[in-house]
Amino acid sequence: MAKLLKTIPAFPVTRIDEAVDFYKAKLNFDCRHKEATFAILVRDEIELHLWASCNHSWKWKSIFLFLKPISSGAESFLAGTHSCRIEIKGVDELFDELKATGVLHSEKSAIEDTYWGTREFHTVDLHGNLITFYENLE
């Protein structure tokens, strides 16, 4: 029987170098691999992938979309459209760490206890991708 083992979120970003710098400086990730259109970031047991969403040709072809739909998969408008949830231990400590770097989802961000048994908060990366950090209360 097949067994699922791991998931790795992959976020679209428009500028790989700037995104890697952001994740290192603001979210304390290390960069394990980087090339022009792809990067692998790690922190503790978590791995995130960044991919270049940098195709701007759709802007000039939009008038002809009915003839040839957008299909490269790397259109620039995809940056900031993804999200993931990361389970952690020490949600209060991480909240304080990230609050100090100014990356919380909004100034009104706070840690919330949910009715489904988690304690969580939200942050966004440089391009607007949403990351929810949560700790199980049980």
For residue range 87-123, list pLDDT tens digits in order: 999 999 999 999 999 888 876 678 999 999 999 999 9
Q: Which residues of the chain have pLDDT under 50?
A: 58
Q: What CATH topology corresponds to 10-61+73-136? A: 2,3-Dihydroxybiphenyl 1,2-Dioxygenase; domain 1 (3.10.180)
Tell me what pLDDT residue 30 has: 98
Q: In what order do the strands lie in the sheet with 10-13?
A: 10-13, 46-52, 38-43, 30-35
Average pLDDT value for the chain: 85
Q: Residue 56's closest CA among 40, 39, 79?
A: 79
pLDDT of 67: 56
Burial zone of 50 (CB within 10 Å; 0-12 exposed, 13-18 middle, 19+ buried): buried
The Cα 110–Cα 27 span in angstroms is 17
